[in-house]
Copies of this chain bind each other. A is one copy, B any other.
């Protein structure tokens, strides 16, 4: 980082404050806090609404009436579709309703109440259990642990995924560690993809027998550029390493079709999937199969989904570019922040100077723009360096997004100047 004199910081502060006041005077009321698709993006999937239109349409290939009860693990054709997308066998897929978060939460709940294969007892019966949390990461993962009283340990993200030396050291020496949260492709919020080496080390490392990798592959197909990043198949690697039961994979159509009305899946070893079934059969008689059928009929196959994802990418590219352009124009010359330039996913991660993230978000809020709270990307909402800000470019209209980013850069400059001026 460049060094500035006191006077230079004073100049920056006064210039940026003037711009900031102009923004405030506009009375903005904008929200770019969550990583959700815009309505325009959802419009792309309109055909999904009516693809199952008549009574005769409601039967799956095996003759099941999808309107009725049954098929705990989902209809065969959606299991086959996700198997192809995730590179697993269809019998390794459990296809459920609209929320992969729900599947993750319920998987933790089952582990707390009943344990997982290989474990001595339910997780809830241990005096203490802990999860590794690569940071920055996804707030909703961390909230689940907090809700369950699972202690969280921060693991720094490097360029190729979590710091594996630390992960391996901790897992090998401490069997209170029962899990790790991973968003392995286009990670939330950094947009990083785990390297082959990282995936293999996760598959092979020593860990407790009831240790589980929660592999939230939320952005498996969400490339912004061609070619996108490639992610090694963890289930396959874990099988080969003799740890087939170490992995719960999660994926969904939340950001493919409709976030509020999609299909979510778990992929896991047969042992894990049978274990899940043991209590899942008490929890429900079956998922919304009609909606699963809609998805299969509309997308047809894996290629259909990949083609569909290109339309999303076309929509998202200008938004990501707008953010990156603004950051490059406004912050690069001052050299007071760093950010990622992901090839896919839903976020850009911005690191400002230590101690400046909260103040930046506060300034945004006072000017009428809500962004993800500072700290949200860390367990317990505590960013130890108070520097990470998650930018979610997908939802606001392009013009609003540009406005928000202009404002964001102004707020970063003000917060940084305030820091160096000791204000």
Q: Select which of B34, B43, B109, B124 is within 8 A of A69 by beta carbon.
A: B34
On whether A66 and B260 interact (CB within 8 A), knowing A50-B53, A113-B148, the answer reads: yes
Across the interface, do A283 and B106 meet the contact criterion of CB distance under 8 Å? yes
Across the interface, do A261 and B289 meet the contact criterion of CB distance under 8 Å? yes
Binds B, one of A97-105, A215-223, A236-244, A398-406: A97-105
Bound Cα distance from A143 to B290, whole angstroms? 26
Across-interface contacts of A49 in B (CB, < 8 A): 50, 52-54, 57-58, 290
Across the interface, do A105 and B42 meet the contact criterion of CB distance under 8 Å? no
Across-interface contacts of A285 in B (CB, < 8 A): 99, 101, 140, 259
Bound Cα distance from A288 to B147, whole angstroms? 23
Bound Cα distance from A325 to B62, whole angstroms? 36
Across-interface contacts of A101 in B (CB, < 8 A): 283-285
Across-interface contacts of A288 in B (CB, < 8 A): 97-98, 260-261, 288, 291
Number of interface residues of A (CB under 8 A): 54
- Is A366's CB within 8 Å of the partner chain B? no
- Is A287's CB within 8 Å of the partner chain B? yes
Across-interface contacts of A228 in B (CB, < 8 A): none
Query: How far, in Å, is A54 (CB) from chain B's closest CB?
Result: 6
Bound Cα distance from A66 to B284, whole angstroms? 24
Interface residues of A in 84-105 (CB under 8 A from B): 97-99, 101-102, 105
Across-interface contacts of A97 in B (CB, < 8 A): 97-98, 288
Across the interface, do B42 and A55 meet the contact criterion of CB distance under 8 Å? yes
Interface centre among A57, A69, A260, A282, by most chain B C-beta atoms within 10 angstroms, is: A260
- Is A368's CB within 8 Å of the partner chain B? no
Across the interface, do B65 and A54 meet the contact criterion of CB distance under 8 Å? no
Query: How far, in Å, is A246 (CB) from chain B's closest CB?
Result: 24
Interface residues of A in 36-93 (CB under 8 A from B): 36-37, 39, 42-43, 45-46, 49-50, 52-55, 57-58, 65-70
Interface residues of A in 240-264 (CB under 8 A from B): 254, 258-261
Bound Cα distance from A144 to B280, whole angstroms? 10
Which residues of A are at the interface with B, using a C-beta cutoff of 8 A?
A: 34, 36-37, 39, 42-43, 45-46, 49-50, 52-55, 57-58, 65-70, 97-99, 101-102, 105-106, 109, 112-113, 124, 140, 143-144, 147-148, 254, 258-261, 279, 282-291
